[in-house]
Copies of this chain bind each other. A is one copy, B any other.
């Protein structure tokens, strides 16, 4: 029998609508799943079952004609996003127990549309280090193999959605903090176009890169979210077909970046074969030399941004701040303003150029992570493959479906130009059908 926690948010909503499931029953099922799995996965930084059930009952009492489009949709929230009824602790001892009574913009939108804000999920410190959440908090593990990292910095949301503890998760991405956990946990992960969803109330690292991230196990669920956040493309919504579509396969974003591991290399190869076997044209491309310094520039800008963003915490409690972040504030790298501006301006100049390149294709297919999730919880993995799309403000969807040499999930990034988020979702839907059916990895319950 399918228990309610197995359902995607969209599937649960069908049952809420036909009266065969209440939000309270659904919430109880999710809580039971969490209870059964939490000692292995440790996805939650804060979870108050009583609050969840109380809000679920309130949602059940809303007459059906007054229910919002996200009625009863359970959302796990990365613990760098403010929630007025729960603490927000950033996995930093500076914020132990801190609970400001304010919702982030994203949470306000979700609540106003009927979502059930479920709890807070683990993060690396301020979503700004790649040291695992085990560094200062719960030892969040990959639900598919607890000896491995779920990735980060959105560790808890990725793991919770991958483990059926909640259908939807919010993450954030400044370099690769949403897409990498998407790949490691075998789920859909979306980083929308920069600033297409308000980042207000989400811990600041970089104004120009930070983006809210979305996790789900189905494209239908992501579509629910994009519509609620009013992401509208210029172009009308038309069905996309893989047959006759043209994709760019980008094995190495720039020649300066790391080689994909064997699992990712095989996934890229198989992904291209599958698309071709379904009638698509797949062209292998590389990015020109003009894009070569992209990652270097991103890191330069990020360092300057971190210098500003962490100054308050530095003044408040330098001794409780990760040394990497202290290094930002104290400018250990001795970055000049001139270099920082050059990097900022050059990245800006690349954006329309990369848009134009990508618009020749239905989408780019690219690696999401170096390989399947590595063993160990102390480090959340390498973000290098995700950085360019963050720096370029382009929307990305991690589509799951492949597996690595040890059987852990691997996804591929599907990328389009800025503000084509709905287009990207339509492409990802069709690509996902193929990858999930024929890619070789199957999500186990």
A99-B101, A108-B315, A109-B315 in contact; A308/B345 too (CB < 8 A)?
no
A100-B101, A337-B234, A348-B348 in contact; A197/B312 too (CB < 8 A)?
no
Residues A40-86 near B (CB distance < 8 A): 82, 84
A100-B100, A105-B204 in contact; A230/B311 too (CB < 8 A)?
yes
Tell whether A233 is near chain B: CB-to-CB under 8 Å: yes
Task: Output the nearest chain B residue to A82 by Cβ-Cβ distance.
Answer: B102
The answer to whether B112 and A312 touch across the interface, beta carbons within 8 angstroms, is yes
The answer to whether A108 and B312 touch across the interface, beta carbons within 8 angstroms, is yes
Tell whether A351 is near chain B: CB-to-CB under 8 Å: yes
The answer to whether A305 and B109 touch across the interface, beta carbons within 8 angstroms, is no
Residues A210-254 near B (CB distance < 8 A): 229-230, 233-234
A200-B204, A311-B230 in contact; A316/B348 too (CB < 8 A)?
no
The answer to whether B198 and A315 touch across the interface, beta carbons within 8 angstroms, is no
Tell whether A341 is near chain B: CB-to-CB under 8 Å: yes
The residues of B that contact A351 with a CB separation of less than 8 Å are 345, 348
A233-B337, A234-B336, A352-B341 in contact; A198/B109 too (CB < 8 A)?
no
The answer to whether A108 and B316 touch across the interface, beta carbons within 8 angstroms, is yes
A308 to chain B, nearest CB (A): 5
Tell whether A196 is near chain B: CB-to-CB under 8 Å: yes
Tell whether A37 is near chain B: CB-to-CB under 8 Å: no
Tell whether A442 is near chain B: CB-to-CB under 8 Å: no
Residues A409-443 near B (CB distance < 8 A): 418-419
B195, B311, B348: the one contacting A308 at CB < 8 Å is B195
The answer to whether A308 and B198 touch across the interface, beta carbons within 8 angstroms, is yes
The residues of B that contact A233 with a CB separation of less than 8 Å are 337
The answer to whether B112 and A100 touch across the interface, beta carbons within 8 angstroms, is no
Tell whether A14 is near chain B: CB-to-CB under 8 Å: no
A235 to chain B, nearest CB (A): 9
A419 to B345, CA, bound (A): 14
The answer to whether B112 and A315 touch across the interface, beta carbons within 8 angstroms, is yes
Task: Output the nearest chain B residue to A335 by Cβ-Cβ distance.
Answer: B234
Tell whether A113 is near chain B: CB-to-CB under 8 Å: yes
The answer to whether B345 and A309 touch across the interface, beta carbons within 8 angstroms, is no
1/0 contact string of A294-314 vs chain B (CB within 8 Å):
000000000001011101110
Residues A315-369 near B (CB distance < 8 A): 315-316, 329, 336-338, 340-341, 345, 348-349, 351-352, 355
Tell whether A276 is near chain B: CB-to-CB under 8 Å: no
**A: which residues have CB within 8 A of B?**
82, 84, 98-103, 105-106, 108-109, 112-113, 195-200, 203-204, 207-208, 229-230, 233-234, 305, 307-309, 311-313, 315-316, 329, 336-338, 340-341, 345, 348-349, 351-352, 355, 418-419
Known contacts A195-B308, A230-B311, A337-B418, then 17 further A-B pairs from the complex at CB < 8 Å, ordered by chain A residue = A84-B100, A100-B102, A105-B309, A109-B311, A112-B312, A112-B316, A195-B305, A198-B311, A199-B204, A199-B207, A200-B204, A200-B309, A200-B312, A207-B207, A207-B208, A234-B338, A341-B419
